[in-house]
Amino acid sequence: MLLSSFYFYMAFLPVYVLILLVTIVIDYYAGIYIAKSHGRKRKLYLIVSLIANIGFLSFFKYYDFLVGSIDELFNVHIPYMRDLWLSSRIIVWNNWVNSHLNLIGTDLPILQNIILPIGLSFHTFQAMSYTIEVYRGNQKPEKKFGIYALYVMFYPQLVAGPIERPQNVIHQFYEKHDFNYDRAVSGLRLILWGMVKKVVIADRLAIYDNAIFSNLSHHSAPTLIMASIFGPIQVYCDFSAYSDIAIGAARVMGFELMTNFRRPLFAKSFQELWQRWHISLTSWFRDYLFFPLGGSRRKGMLRGAFNLIFVFVVSGLWHGANWCFVLWGFTHGILLVVERLIKPFTSKFVRFLGSASTAITTVFIFLMFGFSNAMFVSKDLHEVGGYYKNILTWKSGGLYKGEPPTAIIYCIIVVAILFIAEYTMEYKPQIKLLGHKNVVVRYTGYVMLLTLLLLIGVFNGGQFVYFQF
Amino acid sequence: MRNGYFKFAYKLLILIAIMFVVDRVGGSIMAYYFEKEPLGDAAAFAHAIENPNEDILVYGSSRAMHTYDPRVLEKHLGLSIFNCGRNASTIIYHAAILPSALNRKGPLPKAIILDVTPKELSWRGGEDGNAILASMILPYVDKNEQFEKMADDLFPKELMKAKVSKLYPYNSMILNIIRNYSKKANDNIAGYVPLFGTKASREPITLNFNAEIDNYAKEKFEFFIKEVTSRHIPLYVIISPAFVNPFPDTKSEIATKEILARYNVPLWDYSIDTTFRKRKYFYDNVHLNEKGAAIFSEFIAKRIKDSMEKDNYGVRQ
């Protein structure tokens, strides 16, 4: 399994496996020494591990962002990553490994910007959760190097999560995993639904969204509103599809990974939204950053609000080295703080609305999430500004229907499919299609989804959005 | 455990068998409705490869499809015309459908018009270009050897998928098929599809056409020119107008001219001709609207007529 994970990772950019190996070795020994030591030494080993992980992450993900920001603010020229000696070495090493091992990985052309090691943010956070849990005494240090390496590199979730916790996964590597029919079928159903979400829904919406998001500020208000509705659905389907496929693939092999999404588009508050969206990351920030900072109440309301905003800004930065992500995180932090502040009033309002409140709050949260999506997908703040300006000033112009004009109809159809499926899972869980007792209904479900894949799936080799993180 | 494997394999086989039947039946239904489409790309394409019996045939991308009005050309030339232009198509596609016209029963075409873009030989441009081309030709790979060979050359994986699944070649086509059954009949006039109104920018825009040459496209362009000229069919290679700022000759244009010069075929370049570079003639910056198309078609018809008379090609008076 470890060898498969190595091969899987090296299929992207072979040389980056060395970075992964270095952090694995550091964290493996850090875990052992943390458990052996007491007092300050114990803390020191944890700090060494955290510095190593955050160091690699910062260098590859944030170096150019930092250099660019310094250059812009202070007009101080520091070499960009592509100009560093290390970059040219990485390119040469990568191409050498590629040619000698005859892998399917990519050659990096000289002088091109070096690419972020794939899944770096995910496996770095997973590695950090191990040393922190060992430090806290919740996890015994792993003695077997191969087992620890597998914990970090387990290939179904290596490049885009879920970001696992050692307590949930490591013990499973010691267990015997015989073939289990029910487990395999359940895993394959999840993979099938994940494929539909990715290929039929996310990639179909991407055709429309990419045309809009590539130049947000040039489109009319109706088009931008349409893109604000499709945008979060696309990101959700893209990322949750990867999680479903990862969890499904692991389940077929006999492993259980944590749930990463619980139908977040049906959230009735921002707090609930983040309890349903990318659960493995939000719970990581909650456990390892938010609570250690004092949480929301332990040090007073004001400090609680600051903690919340700070954590969301960091979460924004986790998604990418770009001021748009920082603004996106900041906005969601503010929205959560405001939601908490006005909760006494909104509770009364919700009671007043009665049974209609679920629909109204769900739609409201979805739309707010959609309107913040411009910050998530834009390349620069200028584009974000153009987007909000065009909506607020109601820039005239018709609704862009996509190219060909049937593109928007496909989008509406796939969104309807998603909402019917997720509504049923959320509010009518007793109704099952793929898990139905009647074999005819069950097989009809399989055939319908496979036919959808063949007829309206988008097979242009689109990458998963979260691979870039 | 062993029982589990057998049960799993058995049920998987049943599912594959059901899916096979659904795929074959569904694919046959799609093929039937696709081939019988009264309008749209498929209908124009079917004519272009099955029955291209007109005197003059027009080839080219959407710029050809929305530009050369057969009614205007027929009026001035007194010859029958069919516009084989197709959205997002390039010389690679047209080189593949040309043999249908050259090997047709009866006399050869009296003339061929090929509308090229300033980036005609650069277009293939990787995955996206191939994906568009694949969506056009996959439904025909079973019937047309040229297309099968092209698919094998350019996207063998897509060809394999189309061989395995009968539904897959019609991927993303279902709504277009429905649409083409319900549209009004004047949408497509002998392959020409008029565009109405204008959405072009107020002023001409600057476009970057200067991409690298694709050797496969270049090879197909030369094939097209050679096949037509070797049969002594008058060939008019035209760059139709665009609402763009003047730009230096692109790599594609330079290569196009070099090839045409070898076969003594002139290039009629109207890409930035000021006679036509008026916003009111354009639907968007690169496509003429019906008004612009009518004026340009008339202009081209007269020029072709002059040229044919001069070279004694026998235009009806």
Residues A113 and A249 in one domain: no
pLDDT of residue A118: 74
Which structure tokens are listed for B263? Answer: 């076969």
Confidence of residue B100 (pLDDT cuts 50, 70, 90): confident
Residue of B nearest to A179 (CA): B1
- CB nearest to A184's CB, from B8, B19, B165: B8
**pLDDT exceeds cutoff 90 at B212:** no
Is residue B63 in some structural domain? yes
Residues of chain A positioned with their CB less than 8 A from the CB of B160: none
Could you tell me if A152 and A266 lie in one domain? no
Residue B298: inside a domain: yes
Within 8 A of B174 by CB-CB distance, chain A residues are 455-456
Chain A residue whose CA is closest to B8: A181
Higher pLDDT, A358 or A452: A452
Mutate to test the interface with A, among B7, B13, B171, B180 (most CBs of A within 10 A): B171
User: pLDDT tens-digit profile of A142-187?
Assistant: 999 989 999 988 878 777 778 999 999 999 999 888 889 999 999 9
The answer on pLDDT for B123 being more than 60 is: yes
Phi, psi of A393 (to 5 degrees): -95, 5
At B255-279, the pLDDT tens digits run 999 999 999 998 999 988 888 889 9
The three-point CA angle A107-A108-A114 to 5° equals 145
* Each residue's pLDDT tens digit, A185-212: 999 999 999 999 999 999 999 888 888 8
Q: Which range marks the domain in which residue B240 is found?
A: 37-310
Query: Which tops the pLDDT comparison, B109 or B137?
Result: B109
Residue A162 sits in which domain range?
2-173
Nearest-by-CA chain A residue for B30 = A455
A455 CB neighbours in chain B (<8 A) are: 26, 167, 170-172, 174
Assigned domain for B266 exists? yes
- Count the Cβ atoms, other than its own, within 10 Å of residue B40: 19
Answer whether B23 sits within 8 Å of A459, measured CB to CB: no
Q: Which residue has the higher pLDDT, B186 or B309?
A: B309
Residue contact B8–A406, C-beta within 8 A: no
Q: Which residue on chain B is closest to A200 by alpha carbon? A: B172
Q: In the prediction, which pLDDT does A110 show? A: 39
Name residues 73-102 of chain B within 8 A of A (Cβ): 87
A102 plus A214 within the same structural domain:
no
The single-letter DSSP state of residue A354 is G
Q: Could you tell me what percent of chain A has a pLDDT over 90?
A: 47
Residue A469 counted as domain residue: no
CATH assignment of the domain containing B97: 3.40.50.1110
Q: What is the pLDDT of residue B97?
A: 86
Mean pLDDT of B159-171: 91
**Last residue in a domain, options A105, A138, A173:** A173
For chain A, what is the mean pLDDT? 85
Report chain B's mean pLDDT, rounded to a whole number.
Answer: 85
Averaged pLDDT for residues A393-413 = 84
pLDDT over 50 at A109, yes or no: no
Residue of B nearest to A442 (CA): B15
Among B182-191, B193-202, B220-229, the minimum mean pLDDT is found in: B182-191
- pLDDT the model gives residue B206: 82
Q: What ipTM is given for this predicted complex?
A: 0.77
Residue that the structure tokens 């008004």 belong to: B291
Looking at residue A88, what is its pLDDT? 66
Flag whether residue B13 sits within 8 Å of chain A, measured between CB atoms: no
**pLDDT at position B204:** 84
What is the distance in angstroms between the Cα of A204 and the nearest Cα belonging to chain B?
A: 10
Separation CA A154–CA A9 (nearest Å): 10
Mean pLDDT lowest among A313-327, A390-404, B128-142, B233-247: B128-142
Q: Residue A260 burial by CB count (10 A; 0-12/13-18/19+): exposed, middle or buried?
A: buried
Residue B9 in domain:
no
Residue type, B150: M
Taking alpha carbons only, the member of A151, A142, A164 closest to residue A1 is A151
CA distance B19 to chain A (A): 6
A180/B131 Cβ within 8 A: no
> Is residue A108 within 8 Å of residue A119, measured between CB atoms?
no
Residue A466 included in any domain: no
Given a cut of 70, whether residue B43 has pLDDT beyond it is: yes
Question: Are residue A303 and residue A376 in the same domain, yes or no?
Answer: yes
Q: pLDDT-based confidence at A402, cuts 50/70/90?
A: confident
